[in-house]
Amino acid sequence: MAQGLKTAPGRESIVPMRAPDSIDVTFGGNLIVDPCTACNYDSVAGGYYVWGTNNCISPGTTQWIAVPFISNATGVPKKITASITLDPACTTTTNQVTLGIYTDVCGTGPGVVLASGKAIVPPAPCAVAVASLRTAPSLTAGTKYWVVATTTAAQDGLDAIWNASNTSQIGGDVANGGWFQFSGFVPGFMVN
């Protein structure tokens, strides 16, 4: 098989490189490292709660969050990364969340779930929740989809925060009083 391959001096053999199994494609997302914090989302501003029904702030209430994106490419996604961390103000009884890709219902929001996976929610700032997608359909470039964070019955005790993207930071100056920074609280995510 390696007949005719020449070796460099001092090397006994050469193993030819093989083509990668797949190219890592980014279908959508807004996780970008801020050079001031070295974090790929705004770990200071906060975000939106993601709750199971047994959360500590509003027991009996779930809160699920969704973020839209228009696919940059056509292909099959393999994972969803989300800037979700455990709420430090609560003692959570689970550290899992379900991340999914949904169709779009124009004017309403998420429609039908296309693919989903469970992710471990980290406690630390700058860490992310990552869900592997085992059986995802092909996404179509130019089509609107939603990344959705939900909980199942097994995830009832989740108390988490979907932190804002660095790209949703806004600067303001009121009455020439000086610039300040605040967040538009758009949750951070990446679909690959």
What is the CATH code of the structural domain delimited by 28-172+179-191?
A: 2.60.120
Residue of 17, 32, 9 whose CA lies nearest to 168: 32
Neighbours of 32 (CB within 10 A): 13
Sheet architecture: strand order including 109-120: 65-70, 144-150, 96-105, 109-120
User: pLDDT tens track of the chain, all 192 residues?
Assistant: 444 434 444 444 444 444 444 558 999 999 999 999 999 999 999 899 999 999 999 999 999 999 999 999 999 999 999 999 999 999 999 999 999 999 999 999 999 999 999 999 999 889 999 999 988 999 999 999 999 999 999 999 999 999 999 999 899 989 889 988 888 999 999 999
Q: What is the pLDDT of residue 78?
A: 97
User: How far, in Å, CA of 141 to CA of 189, rounded?
Assistant: 18
Which of helix, strand or coil describes residue 148? strand
Question: How do the domains of the chain map onto residue ranges?
Answer: 28-172+179-191
Sign of CA dihedral 151, 149, 130, 38: negative
| Block residue for tokens 């758009």 | 186
> Using an 8 Å Cβ cutoff, are 71 and 142 in contact?
yes
